[in-house]
A and B are shown apart, each in its own frame.
Chain A
Amino acid sequence: MQSELYKMFAPKMYSLCLRYSANIHDAQDILQEGFVKVYDNLEKFKWKGSFEGWMKRIFVNLALDKYRSKISLLSIDDVAENQEPSDNELNALDAISEKEILELIRQLPDQYRMVFNLYVIEGYSHKELGEMLNIRESTSRSNLARAKMILKEKIQFHSQKIDKAICENGKI
């Protein structure tokens, strides 16, 4: 039963772990710890909500623990929230794969990455993020804005690189 559960959920949970980790080593650590915790606490799950949701919370909490254990004193400037993205930016996003987006998210500074994942993918509010990461709500907002700005730049740059490569290969 344990291996079946692992086979079913490991790819999705590994993707989550990678998203929260700057390096593969940390992601694999979280994946191991997470599954051990899931098996140890399986009896406590009441089968009332989503099992996958329950598992995700375990992995997210472990990722947060890992982040807290090596939190660095980053100087995070408050920045104004970004404007709506242009059509170009949205097209660029469509052009790159999920794997590439994942890689770009992992390149974000630790705190930006945590805020971005928790807010955008997991759907927590800035108030909740403030409590989870022990930061002010306004800091959470500005971190998110900065994270998005960096990501958009990276996506744009990545998209241009692909366009250039295609042109050089004479495909257009």
Chain B
Amino acid sequence: MERFEKNIQEKLRDFQVQPPEEIWGAIENRLVQNQGKKFLWLRIAAAILLLVISITSLVLYLPSGRIAEPVAEIYVPENEQVPADSEPLTAEPGADILAEKDKTETLAATTRETYPAETLITDIDVLSDYYSIPDLLAMMPKGYENQLASQSAPDHGYAGFSLRIEESPDVTYEIATEFLAMDLKAPDSRQRGFALAAYLAPQQSFRYQRNTAPFPYEALESEIYSFAAGLKFHYNINSRWEVESGIGYNLIGQAVNGIAAFSHPSMIPLYSSKGELISSHPQSMSTSMGGINFKDQSFYFADISSSRIFALKGSYDESNVNLLNKTASGLIQHFGYIEVPIVFSYKIIDRMFSMSVKSGIAANFLYTNNVYLQGSAYTRSIGESAGISPLSWSGTGGLSFSYPVSDRVNVALEPTFTMFLTPMGQFRTLTRETYPYNYSLFMGIKYKL
């Protein structure tokens, strides 16, 4: 190598130039995006698995809608005399049935009657009023061996007691009761069980920022109108309580105002009067919902209200930028989340119309992330927001009005408020503590399975 080359090599080999500060912000944005994309499908798969496990658990472990053979039995040997005027037990509550009867007569009944538990027992207190152990003991004729046993079998979900009166080795009276320990009242079989619902909700979406870290350009951002849609499984725990879960798509975001876009043919740099490049791609900007990376090089973006846009060199200068044609102004940030909720509702009015209050939480998996440029006649995707957490948690609450259009089909209207419980951004430095929220009007059809 000749001396000239060697001299230049020595001069430049370790020469350093400090890059502009904006470059690190742009690199950080790219890294965050790459990281989010890397695990997105894994997270969606985990959410679906969680949903399948939840539904399977509900089906397998919640009590079924029917009581398996709960009976109250009164029986005595057939060889005993049967009073002619013995009345069969009716299906009304135990107090009404038995208060008018002579208890001894009842015990002496010679027919074996079996009634579903719910027809005899509406409440354990009623039962104890008429079959309390002291009463029954007092009824027993002297000289007879009495045996009173309490029985319970909580592992089967049933409890009850029985009374056996052994008059002789051949004659035994026995009263045995059994009832569902978990729910003394008979469930309404029409209300219990699963339902499948499809819903669509127009909604207004914006965000809340914690006072400790307000975004300086708060006034330059505003709400948008979007939608949510999805499928849900409902399960009626009883006539009042209901639990629901499912999978939905929830589109939220905000409008970013005061951003102008100029048509800027790709790869043609824009120079100042001194011949310096005043801007170049990729441009990026900061918002309360993450940093925007502009990918469409056919536009040059300028902030006409503040200085939110990071241009690699120079800032907005009307004298230069006006050489280009202004095409549109205003950006829309859209975030599409796959939502897996679990919501409980309690029916407070149960007539022809029913009204419930509902509340729950949801896991939100970031699925789509777009920034649109809004022109007077078109909307065009020009990039995406960086620094958004791939998983966020939200809380929801609202009212549900339901009307049955047939035995199985209900239509429902649900004004609902939903808000993120965790900040939507991954890094406080990029997105601060921003909590999106939306007011939604869910409209759905529910089909009872």
Q: A residues bordering B, Cβ < 8 Å?
A: 2-3, 6, 10-12, 14-15, 18-19, 23-25, 28-29, 31-32, 35-36, 39-40, 84-85, 89-90, 93-94, 98-99, 101-102, 105, 119-121, 148, 151-152
Contacts and interface: CB of A to CB of B under 8 A. Distances in A.
Contacts of A14: 16-19
A47 B280 CA distance: 36
Residue among A3, A15, A148 with the highest chain B CB neighbour number at 10 A = A15
Contacts of A121: 8-9, 12-13
B280 A148 contact: no
Contacts of B20: 28
A38 B216 CA distance: 34
Closest 5 CB pairs of A and B: A11-B16, A25-B280, A14-B19, A98-B15, A15-B17
A18 B26 CA distance: 18
Interface of B: 1-5, 7-9, 11-20, 23-24, 26-28, 30-31, 34, 269, 277, 280-282, 312-313
Given A15-B12, A90-B3, A28 B23 contact: yes
Given A11-B19, A85-B4, A120 B27 contact: no
Contacts of B12: 15, 19, 98, 101-102, 105, 121
A102 B31 CA distance: 30
Contacts of B15: 12, 15, 98-99, 102
Contacts of B11: 93, 98, 101
Given A25-B269, A28-B23, A99-B17, 14 more contacts: A2-B28, A6-B24, A15-B12, A23-B269, A31-B23, A32-B27, A36-B27, A36-B31, A85-B3, A93-B8, A98-B15, A99-B15, A148-B4, A152-B4
Contact of A94 (B5, B7, B31): B7
Contacts of A151: 8
Contacts of B26: 32
A33 B388 CA distance: 21
B313 A32 contact: no
B259 to A, nearest CB: 21
A25 B312 contact: yes
Contacts of A40: 34
Contacts of B28: 2-3
Given A23-B277, A24-B312, A36-B30, A84 B19 contact: no
Contacts of A32: 23, 26-27, 30, 282
17 contacts: A3-B28, A11-B17, A15-B12, A15-B15, A18-B17, A19-B12, A24-B277, A24-B280, A25-B281, A28-B19, A28-B20, A90-B3, A93-B7, A93-B8, A94-B7, A120-B1, A151-B8
Contacts of A89: 4
B308 to A, nearest CB: 20
Nearest to B24: A6
Nearest to A33: B30
A105 B12 CA distance: 11
A171 B281 CA distance: 45
B9 A84 contact: no
Contacts of A18: 17
B34 A101 contact: no
A18 to B, nearest CB: 6
B52 to A, nearest CB: 33
Given A12-B14, A101-B12, A148 B30 contact: no
Contacts of B3: 84-85, 90
B13 A90 contact: no
Contact of A120 (B8, B18, B24, B313): B8
Given A28-B19, A102-B15, A6 B7 contact: no
B150 to A, nearest CB: 68
A152 B3 CA distance: 12
